[in-house]
Amino acid sequence: MTSYHGMFSALLILVPVLTFILLWIALQGPVVDRITMAGLPEGVLDGLDSGGVQLVLAEIKSVSRGQIFGTPEDWKIAAAGRYVILHDRADWWLFAAVTILSLALLAFARSRVAADFRARQGVEGIVSGLMIFCSTVAIFTTIGIIASLSYETWRFFERVPVAEFLFGLNWEPQIPLREDQIAAKGAFGWLPVILGTIVITVVALVVAVPVGLFSAIYLNEFAPKRLRSIVKPVLEILAGVPTVVYGFFAILVVAPAIRSFGQSIGLDVAPNTALAAGGVMGIMLIPFISSFADDALSAVPQAMRDGALGLGSTRGEMMTTVLFPAALPGIVGGVLLAVSRAIGETMIVVMAAGLIAKMTINPLDSVTTVTVQIVTLLIGDTSFDNPKTLAAFALGMMLFLVTLMINILALRIVRKYREAYD
């Protein structure tokens, strides 16, 4: 197989060179920025926080693109000139480095390739290296999530004490925290936020669990084959609808309907009541729960069904007294996964739930959730050094940990029970 020799050379050259180019492109921007900022005259950046510094950098960049608003100071124009030169020079350096690297690798490859060289083994070695790299991307992603969340959370706890965050009963992140102001006490207590999350999750489960469960029971045991083949895909459609669509549905239809119904029976319902967000989230979770319950019921061995029927129970009794209890662990696992989905669900609550954190468990009232707070704190201006933005990362950390624990628990329950019957 002669083609392996060429393949070997190509891979030997392309893999390092492409990696090098990608790394260079990723690092060029930040490095040039840093050199530009370091070259500014002394004193011009005094008294600016990191947001102000970012602003100066952005202005220099826009000047370098020729977009000039007003009259920038001379040092900014000079810096813009340096910025352009640095980028040009960087491009040249990249070109030169890539050429040298390619030639060196080509020479190396040429020296290796000979009639008796085992090229296939060489190629396969490189390919397996690439595949191992691909599979470690998942690990790197996890590391990235944990590292970024912990780093920003740690910076948050430098500014706000851990105890305040974990046990505080007030969540008012909109209070501006100035240098001379001691962080408004208790403004970053996450308890009302998590309470709101729980309220909405409970409402969602109250809708989703009965509907999903009874659908699964019917589909699994009683439905004619034709009906089953129609219902299952339709439920899958419900699962495939993007959550932003559910969010719009909640504000367009569900919330006004609940509100006017509440008013007609004399109840005071908030316009963004937890019932609307939770109820719509429940609709979203119906297919999730029903498919998990269906799988769990199907996994119960046929012998148990036959046994129950043979002893004279009706199919209904077989379902309630034999199949359902036997499938219960799997169903519980599915419900737990649904809980973790509900806690982490973002768009429905961002659009349909409230923004203000209250210590209330009244589902007619408006409550807020962890994900709503993360999104509202980070939309718009984000400089990474005020507690307001960092608080979002602390909430994200808690969200990640809570959902991770629930997922691990749920998967363990599901797996354990599956093994019992296999």
- Residues numbered 58-117 forming contacts with other proteins, rule: CB under 8 A: none
CB of residue 266 vs other proteins: minimum separation in angstroms? 25
Q: Which of 17, 101, 105, 251 binds other proteins (CB under 8 A)?
A: 251
Site for other proteins in 347-386 (CB under 8 A): 347, 350-351, 371, 374-375, 378-379, 382, 384
Which residue in 60, 80, 357, 392 binds other proteins (CB under 8 A)? 392
Q: Binding of other proteins at residue 409 (CB under 8 A)?
A: no
> Is 218 an interacting residue with respect to other proteins (CB under 8 A)?
yes
Structure-block tokens of residue 264: 């007609």
321 lies in the binding site for other proteins (CB under 8 A): no
Torsion of CA 313, 317, 322, 324, to 10 degrees: 160
171 binds other proteins (CB under 8 A): no
- Phi-psi region at 358: left, alpha or beta (left = phi > 0; alpha = psi -120 to 50): beta
User: Does residue 319 bind other proteins (CB under 8 A)?
Assistant: yes
Helix (H, G, I), strand (E, B) or coil at 116: coil
Segment 177 to 206, residues that bind other proteins, using CB under 8 A: none
Give the contact letters, 116-145, x = binds to other proteins (CB under 8 A), - = no.
----x---x--xx-xxxxxxxxxx-xx-xx
Q: What residues does 188 pair with on adjacent strands?
A: 171
Q: How far is the CB of 264 from other proteins (least distance, A)?
A: 19
Size of the site for other proteins (CB under 8 A): 92
CA torsion through residues 111, 115, 119, 122, sign = negative
Exposed, middle or buried, 117 (CB in 10 Å: 0-12/13-18/19+)?
A: middle
Selection from 301, 299, 258 nearest residue 277 by Cα: 258
H helix runs in 160-224, sequence order:
162-167, 191-217
Residue 3 makes contact with other proteins by CB under 8 A: no
Non-local (6+) Cβ contacts of 21 within 8 A are 94, 98
Quick one: 182 or 237, whose CB is closer to other proteins? 237
Contact set for other proteins, span 256-315 (CB under 8 A): 283, 286-287, 290, 312, 314-315
157 binds other proteins (CB under 8 A): no
Q: Which residues contact 23 (CB under 8 A, 6 or more apart)?
A: none
Minimum Å gap between C-beta 244 and other proteins is 4
Rounded (5°) CA angle 164-168-172: 100
Binding other proteins (rule: CB under 8 A), the pick from 79, 204, 399, 414 is 399
Q: Interacting stretch for other proteins, rule CB under 8 A, among 72-80, 100-108, 198-206, 228-236?
A: 228-236
271 SS3 class? coil
Which residue's CB is nearer to other proteins, number 103 or number 245?
245
Q: Tokens 């920025």 sit at which residue?
A: 33
Query: What's the DSSP call for residue 219?
Result: I
